[in-house]
Chain A
């Protein structure tokens, strides 16, 4: 059995990398990929706790997270495509439609 602290540590590291990606990058597509990384880090935490508590509920939640991730990616990419048609750019600092 892999010790739980290692798994949670790995999950935290991947989540932190995802946060850094969202904050540092300006390409909307790469920001979306970083969000996927964060969701996967949460999934890893779910699976490792499920394995250590000998319970399947954690794995069920991973299913739901995957579904939400799929829906989120589909809608997010549609928004990006639409923004690109409107603005010819996917860099988030060039898009400030809501700023008055």
Chain B
């Protein structure tokens, strides 16, 4: 368990350093995804299973997609690629595609599931999702409801800000 922790911790530190130090913002964002994923691994080691999953879905999924979307929308730098870089990228793409195909073939051959490594699940694999939900919806119900208002305010604010200035009646006259 400690070895796993050190592995995830080293990955987290190295990728966060790369996020800060890398020149290209797209690469920074992708390293940030890796950092969030290793943090999710640490959460799993700390018996916070639900938070680990939420970390991957919300941070590595939603928030980073938003980041990448904005970076590509702004199109910060037009990088010029040499023929060698394009060839390397195509090679990596083909390799990844072939690996994914092989995995799919393996999964289909085994009936869509790799199956558990050991047939009998160990005891007490229930996790803490139930307890977390009960706490969230009893003791922390009011903050939870406040959170929904926060998200609503953020949503309205984003729409107003991103729409930009439109001509109002007073301005146009």
Q: Would you list which residues of chain A between 61 and 81 have a CB under 8 Å from chain B?
A: 62-64, 66-75, 77-81
Shortest distance in angstroms between B158's beta carbon and chain A's nearest beta carbon? 4
Does B63 contact A81, Cβ atoms closer than 8 Å? no
Shortest distance in angstroms between A34's beta carbon and chain B's nearest beta carbon? 6
Query: Which residues of the other chain, B, contact A57 by a CB distance below 8 angstroms?
Result: 135
Query: Which residues of the other chain, B, contact A95 by a CB distance below 8 angstroms?
Result: none
Does B47 contact A2, Cβ atoms closer than 8 Å? no
Does A71 contact B150, Cβ atoms closer than 8 Å? yes
Chain B, interface SS category: helix
- Known contacts: A34-B19, A36-B32, A66-B58. The answer to whether A82 contacts B136 by CB under 8 A is no
Does A74 contact B154, Cβ atoms closer than 8 Å? yes
The complex places the Cα of A84 from the Cα of B5 at a distance, in Å, of 41
Cβ-defined partner of B28 (8 Å) among A30, A56, A68, A85: A30
Per-residue CB proximity of B98-120 to A under 8 Å, as 1/0? 00000000000000000000000
Does B19 contact A74, Cβ atoms closer than 8 Å? no
Does B132 contact A59, Cβ atoms closer than 8 Å? yes
Does B71 contact A29, Cβ atoms closer than 8 Å? yes
Tell me if B170 is interfacial: C-beta within 8 Å of chain A. no
Q: Which residues of B contact A (CB under 8 A)?
A: 1-2, 5, 9, 12-13, 16-17, 19-20, 25, 28-29, 32, 35-36, 39, 42-43, 45-48, 50-51, 54-55, 58-59, 62-63, 66-67, 70-71, 73-74, 76, 128, 131-132, 135-136, 140, 143, 147, 150-151, 153-155, 157-158, 161-162, 164
